[in-house]
Amino acid sequence: MLKSDRKKNVFKIFDEYLKPLNFKAEKAGGDPAYLLKLDDRVISFFMNFKDAEWIAISGIKISILEVEKYLIEAFGKGYIMDKYFFDEKKYFLTTINDKNFTNIYDGIEINSENEIINFTHWYINYLETSGKKFIETYSYLPNVLRKMDELDVKGKTWQDREEGILSGSLDAQFRGLIISKLCNDRNYLKKIEYCDNIFNIDTRKDWLPYYEKLKERLNTVEPIYNL
C-alpha cells in the first residue's frame, strides 16, 4: 500500500471519530496531528507515517495555557519560536504528556485495510479509556501537583522518562514551579530550593537568567487554586 493511501485510510477513520468531538486535523507536513483547542488547554496527539510502512503515534499531550504563558514570558516568545516548534496553530508547548502510553504497533508494518482498521480502533480504544482518564485527571492542575509530590517522595524527577508527568528537559522545572505557585502549594519554597540546586551548576548557567526571571515573575502571580 502506498504511503498516501495509508494516510488517507487512517485519516478517514480518525476523522469519523474525532471531528464530532471537535478535534481539528492538521494533516500537512511529516507529523500530522489532531488537536482539541479549548479555552484553557490544547489536547493533541501526533503521528508519523514511516517509509518502512509502520506508523509512529504519540500518546495524549496537553498544553495547559495558563502554565505555558509564564514559561513563554520567561524565555521570550522569539526564543521559544526559534528553539521549539511553536506556532499556536498546530504546535503548542506541551505541559504534560501520557508517559504510560506505549505504541504496540511500533515497528510493525501496516499495509492492508484490515491492519489499518485494527490500528485505528486500537488507538480509539486508548482515547476512550486510559487516554480519557489521563485527560480528566491531569487537566486539573492540583492533580498534576500531587503527581509531582509523589515523584519527589520516590526520588524521581517531575519529567522522569517512565513515571514522570511534566514535559521537557530542564524546562520541566519551570513548569513545576509555575504549577506549584498556581496551586498555592505549601511546599512552594521547598520546590524553589530544589530547583535552585538544579540551576546553580556551571553546566546549566545558560538556563540561569531565564530561571531567575521566572522566579521574579512568580512572586507577583496569584494562585488560582487554594489547596
Q: How far, in Å, CA of 204 to CA of 198, rounded?
A: 8
Q: Which residue has the cell 485495510?
A: 113
What tens digit of pLDDT does each residue of 14-51 get? 999 999 999 999 998 889 999 999 999 999 999 999 98
* Residue type, position 208, single letter: L
Q: Say which residue, 160 or 77, is predicted with more confidence.
A: 160
What does the alpha-carbon distance between residue 157 and residue 164 come to, in Å, rounded to a whole number?
7
pLDDT in tens, 53-92: 999 999 999 999 999 999 999 999 888 887 777 888 899 9
Q: For 115-125, how does the pLDDT look when each residue is reduced to its tens digit (9 = 90+)? A: 999 999 999 99
Instruction: Please compute Rg for the chain using Cα positions.
Output: 19
Residue 61 forms beta bridges with which residues? 44, 97
**How far, in Å, CA of 22 to CA of 160, rounded?**
31
3-state secondary structure the chain: CCHHHHHHHHHHHHHHHHHHHCCEEECCCCCCEEEEECCCEEEEEEEEECCCCCEEECCCEEEEHHHHHHHHHHHCHHHHHHHCCCCCCCCCCCCEECCCCCCCCCCCCCCCHHHHHHHHHHHHHHHHCHHHHHHHHHCCHHHHHHHHHHHHHHCCCCCCCCCCCECCCCHHHHHHHHHHHHCCCCCHHHHHHHHHHHHCCHHHCCCHHHHHHHHHHHCCCCCCCCC
pLDDT tens digits for range 162-186: 999 999 999 999 999 999 999 999 9
Distance CA(209)–CA(168), nearest Å, equals 18
Q: What is the pLDDT of residues 187-216, one digit of tens each?
A: 999 999 999 999 999 889 999 999 999 999
The pLDDT of residue 165 is 97
Query: What pLDDT score was predicted for residue 143?
Result: 98
What whole-number distance in Å separates Cα of residue 18 and Cα of residue 16? 6
pLDDT reading at 106 higher than 80? yes
pLDDT value, residue 87: 84
Asked if residues 116 and 110 have their Cβ atoms less than 8 Å apart, the reply is: yes
